[in-house]
Amino acid sequence: MRYDYTTIGHVTVDELPDGTRRPGGGAFYSALQASRLGLRTLVVTRGVPDEIAELTATFAAEIDLRVEPAAATTVLATRALTGPRDQRVVSWAGPMAARPTVDSRIVHFAPVAAECPATCSGACAFVAFTPQGVTRRWGPDGRFAHTRAPGRFVPLARRCDAIVLNARELPHCAALVGAAREAGAVIAVTDESGPARVITGDAEHTVAAARVDAPVDDLGAGDVYAAALFTELAAGLDVLAAARFASAAAALRVAGAGARAVPSRPEIGRALSSAEG
């Protein structure tokens, strides 16, 4: 296959409290984490091509982009870098193509703001989903509110090998989680700095979150967790070992600022060794 890991979703412009603009969105952070784990990575996204290319230029050697042209790029204004998320939609790139074509070992549906299709065409071996974006809606003030995930995503959930979502999203994704669980998918429910619930078939495990002594910035930490988990599961790693690996990756992300804090495999390995020691 041409790629090892393909994400589908909006690359966003994240406007920070100090006015800084930097790349964001689940599709971006997950793809970057997969790349830093050694995978050939593609992001399928939508927005203003030149704006996204400029925004992600620093990472051009790590991820490939396929951009559906749009009149605007999705811009999210963020008031806080840690703790409860307070984001506002400033502009939206609109819905993506109904069936993007992929050629990738892992395909990760990573919506951030109701943009993602529920299927794709082409070849893939492992299907992954982070459904937070399908539960999000926003009003005239641009602020997010959660609603029940649309039923059209239930068939996607049935195809999934793994799903990651946050505990706050779980009540809105009951049908998706139920469908994925019936199909035998691994389901990880994260809870900020609390332990994650990892569900496999009829078994449920609790995996402690890796400790972060001085959190700097948690934007994209859940996406880093998801990509690390999906990558290791697809490679055949034991579920609980993969969850611990993902937790260590997310903790390293939170301990630094922005995309430069997305860790490499050796960095994650050292963090795990230190925790075990």
Read off the pLDDT of residues 109-164 as tens digits, 9 standing for 90 and up: 999 999 999 999 999 999 999 999 999 999 999 999 999 999 999 999 999 999 99
- What's the rounded mean pLDDT across residues 219-232? 97
In the predicted structure, residue 82 carries a pLDDT above the cut 80:
no
pTM of the model: 0.96
Q: Where are the domains of the chain?
A: 3-265
The pLDDT of residue 272 is above 80:
yes
Residue 50 has pLDDT above 70, yes or no: yes
Confidence of residue 277 (pLDDT cuts 50, 70, 90): low
CA 180 to chain centre: 17
What would the pLDDT profile of 13-23 be if each residue is shown by its tens digit?
A: 999 988 899 99
Does the pLDDT of residue 41 top 90, yes or no? yes
Tokens representing 9 are 């979703």
User: What is the residue type of 224?
Assistant: V
Which long-range contacts link 147-156 to residues 24+ away (Cβ below 8 Å)? Answer: 147/172, 148/172, 148/175, 149/173, 149/175, 149/176, 151/175, 152/118, 153/118, 153/129, 154/179, 155/118, 155/119, 155/179, 156/109, 156/118, 156/119, 156/127, 156/129
Q: What is the pLDDT of residues 240-269, one digit of tens each?
A: 999 999 999 999 999 999 999 999 999 999
Is 80's pLDDT higher than 80? Answer: no
The per-residue pLDDT for 191 is: 93
Rounded to an integer, the average pLDDT of 45-70 is: 98
pLDDT at position 202 over 90: no
Please state, in angstroms and rounded to a whole number, the distance separating the CA atoms of residues 52 and 33: 18
Tell how far CA 270 is from the center of its chain.
23
C-alpha to C-alpha distance for 123 and 90, rounded to whole angstroms = 35
Classify domain 3-265 at the CATH class level.
alpha beta
Alpha carbon 77 to chain centroid, angstroms:
18
Which residue type, as a one-letter code, is found at position 177? Answer: V
